[in-house]
Amino acid sequence: MPTFSLPETVFSFGGDEFIYAEITRDMKVESNLKALAVTKELRDRNIPGISDVVSSNASYLVRYNPEVISGKDLVDYLKEIDYTKSDPANLGISVRMLEIPVWYDDPVTRECTDRFIDRHPDPSLSNLEFCMKMNGFSDKEAFIEHHSSIPYLITMLGFMPGTAWQFPLGLKEQEMIQAPKYKSPRTDTPERSVGVGGAFTVIYPVRGSGSYQLIGRSAVPVYDSSQKLADFQDTSFLARLGDLWKYRPVNESEYMRIRKEIKDGTYRFNKKDIELSPLEYVNKGKKYIQELMEDIQ
């Protein structure tokens, strides 16, 4: 089985308190998993002087106290840890795969897109129709099947609390559903809206502004301040870095049934724990992803 190493990480300072580590400039799954592995190692070591560690799509950021540890010494320390995580064969991580039921082309997000049609790149089309056109689909069901057929890796958290950037797995770049954002952001987006921007998919955790193309609405929350559901007992946020989310299309009837279970507090997510291997992913691609999905499709 062929092996390879990731490019050498580039370190730079951001003022007196930050070190920025760029693994690759373009988004690569193995780069993201390396960032996750390095930042986990940093947290586990609990290095004096480090106050925060943040993982991003293909990079990570470290905040430190220069009165406790010098930036030069910390960079040397980071390089040592970073080097040990440069071989994809050693980057296996334990993650969850969760099923996210979605009502595609639902009336709530359609109404929202109608209200802000003047800010859209093509006012003659709905957001979903626009995504179909941009990706060469003429049949709505084929588009939905393509979007929901593979899992999405949560590569970054941010913007609004609970927002998870999700990158498609198992597809070549030309096969990924991609779409430009709005010309000017909407001032209102329904909570649980599913949006596409670039090659990323997001679920809006709460009602607010947004500029991604809306293609449907999740039946389940990704943020629960009440922590009423069993899957939110440890935190109000569903997303974890490294999670895999698999979308499952549902119709109106099933959507409403799930919403009732959410209200009653009885809903449980369909999920499983898996060991994700970047090396297996690089060498086997979509076949490896299909193997991971066997018990959750």
- The residue behind tokens 């999920």 is 271
Beta bridge partners of residue 275, listed in sequence order: 94
pLDDT confidence of residue 260: 98
Instruction: Name the architecture of domain 10-87.
Output: 2-Layer Sandwich (3.30)
pLDDT confidence of residue 223: 95
Distance (Å) of CA 78 to CA 12, 172, 293: 12, 32, 35
User: How is the chain split into domains, by residue range?
Assistant: 10-87, 94-292
What residues contact residue 96 under an 8 Å CB cut-off, 6+ apart? 240, 243, 244, 271, 272, 273, 274
Of residues 68, 64, 45, the one with CA closest to residue 54: 64
Mean pLDDT, 10 residues at a time, over the chain (297 residues)? 68 95 89 90 92 94 96 94 81 88 98 96 96 98 97 91 92 94 96 97 96 98 94 94 96 98 96 87 85 76
Q: Provide the b/e sequence for 160-182 (b: ≥16 CB within 10 Å).
A: bebbbbbbbbbbeeeebbbbbbb
pLDDT confidence of residue 195: 98
What is the secondary structure of 160-221 as a DSSP string?
STT-EEEEE-S--GGGS--B---SS-EEEE-TTEEEEEBTEEEE-SSSEEE-SEEEEEESS-
pLDDT confidence of residue 1: 46
pTM: 0.91
pLDDT confidence of residue 124: 95
The CATH superfamily label for domain 94-292 reads: Cyclophilin-like (2.40.100.10)
The span from the CA of 215 to the CA of 177, in Å, is 12
Token pair recorded at residue 144: 């939905």
CATH fold match for the domains 10-87 and 94-292: no
SS3 237: strand
pLDDT confidence of residue 5: 63
